[in-house]
Amino acid sequence: MTLPEKTQKLLKQIHDAVVAYDEETSAQLCNALLKEGIDPYDGIMKGLAAGMDTVGGLYEKKEYFVPELLLCSDALYAGLDVLRPHVKTTREKEDVGKIVMGVIEGDIHDIGKTLVKTMFEAAGWEIYDLGKDVKLDRFVEEQKKTSADIVALSALMTTSMLAMPKVIEMLKAHDPGVIIMVGGAPLTPEIAQHYGADGYARDAVTAVKKASELMKK
């Protein structure tokens, strides 16, 4: 078997381990990939991330739901933990950038944000996750500190979503060019627009696609 064939097979196995939410196998295969001297960046993008891409498709087709996404995410991170320390260079892609994200002040519901983070992670974004119940000033501070391209705000409660227009105004006042995305159960595209956000995504899978679109504009 030639090396490229062997590489391809290993990458496919990593992909499959993520889709099968097999955390242990994902880590083992990523270790094997390093031993074979395969570029860890390929392992991430063509193995792990490709797996999460398939997972996203299964979620959109309603074959996978949140429990499956969470376990696939665990398999992704198990592989990333192995490969990341060995990645020497970052590759520039025009639709990938830096993103600050968090669940807005007054809201502790972070399962959606966690999944959004995973999908961005898989797509190669540089992520600054502020967690949940994030004070409005923190979003501005973090964007300022990191010069993030996008700030993503999440809310599950109708009460906490009321903080969104305020923080959007604060962020835009500081950096009119920053892209702001919002999401969460009570949000709609109309409300997002009304609040002054640049984009809305209904779930974690579409969030990455929307962010990439916005980056190209």
* Residues of this chain that bind another protein (CB under 8 A): 21, 62, 65-68, 70-71, 74, 104-108, 111, 114, 133, 157-163, 185-188, 191, 194
**What tokens does 84 get?**
């990341």
Between 133 and 141, CB nearer to another protein: 133
Alpha-carbon distance 44 to 76, whole Å? Answer: 9
Alpha-carbon distance 45 to 162, whole Å? Answer: 37
Q: At its nearest, how many Å lie between another protein and the CB of residue 114?
A: 7
Does residue 152 sit in helix, strand or coil?
Answer: strand
Q: At its nearest, how many Å lie between another protein and the CB of residue 36?
A: 30
51, 76 Cβ separation under 8 angstroms: yes
Q: At its nearest, how many Å lie between another protein and the CB of residue 4?
A: 35
User: Any idea which residue has 């074959």 for tokens?
Assistant: 63
Between 72 and 82, CB nearer to another protein: 72
Q: At its nearest, how many Å lie between another protein and the CB of residue 8?
A: 29
142, 128 Cβ separation under 8 angstroms: yes
Q: At its nearest, how many Å lie between another protein and the CB of residue 207?
A: 14
115, 69 Cβ separation under 8 angstroms: yes
Q: At its nearest, how many Å lie between another protein and the CB of residue 190?
A: 9
Between 107 and 198, CB nearer to another protein: 107
Between 143 and 160, CB nearer to another protein: 160
Between 92 and 190, CB nearer to another protein: 190
Between 157 and 215, CB nearer to another protein: 157
What residue type is assigned to position 67 of the chain?
P
The secondary structure of 29-69 as a DSSP string is HHHHHHHTT--HHHIIIIIIIHHHHHHHHHHHTTSS-HHHH
**What tokens does 71 get?**
């376990």
